[in-house]
């Protein structure tokens, strides 16, 4: 997202959540971490762009946030940064009979994630991942 990157932040991803009140959640990151002031700055700039371009019909709330410790993963490039880490995954279709997995990411081959679930190796097509988050470790 060019407006985020022009402000010196990394665009991590976005979620559009429909419900009682729709929410557009935009995740930003930078090496030093994200402050509340960073979120406010990006929110102000994005609001202006959204007001002009109006890509979403209807009312919604805009949230700008750090991805945090249990960060959601949106792209294969992001997944590749966390080889060996534990993940919570929700799939669009079952793999090995399961749509929800707690797994360790072993490798990425093409567009497939190789994960370990309780010692069992599974191949998960990236296109089947509906949502995934890191599991924070507190050693």
Q: In what order do the strands lie in the sheet with 10-17?
A: 10-17, 22-29, 60-65
* Spans of all domains in the chain: 2-65, 76-134
- Cα separation, 88 vs 95, whole angstroms: 14
List the chain residues with pLDDT less than 50.
none
Class of CATH domain 2-65: alpha beta
Evaluated on CA atoms 55, 59, 61, 67, the torsion sign reads negative
- Cα separation, 36 vs 2, whole angstroms: 20
Identify the pLDDT of residue 13: 96
- Say if domain 76-134 classifies as CATH 1.10.1370.30: no
């Amino acid at each position: 997202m060019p407006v985020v990157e022009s402000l010196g932040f990394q665009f991590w991803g976005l979620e559009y959540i429909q419900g009682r009140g729709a929410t557009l959640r935009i995740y930003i990151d930078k090496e030093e971490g994200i402050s509340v002031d960073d979120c406010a700055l990006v929110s102000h700039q994005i609001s202006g762009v959204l007001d002009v371009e109006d890509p979403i019909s209807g009312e919604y709330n805009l949230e700008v946030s750090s991805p945090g410790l249990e960060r959601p993963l949106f792209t294969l490039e992001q997944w590749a940064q966390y080889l060996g880490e534990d993940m919570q995954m929700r799939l669009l279709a079952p793999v090995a009979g399961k749509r929800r997995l707690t797994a360790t990411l072993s490798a990425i081959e093409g567009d497939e994630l190789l994960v370990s679930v309780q010692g069992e190796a599974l191949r998960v097509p990236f296109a089947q991942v509906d949502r995934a988050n890191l599991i924070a470790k507190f050693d």
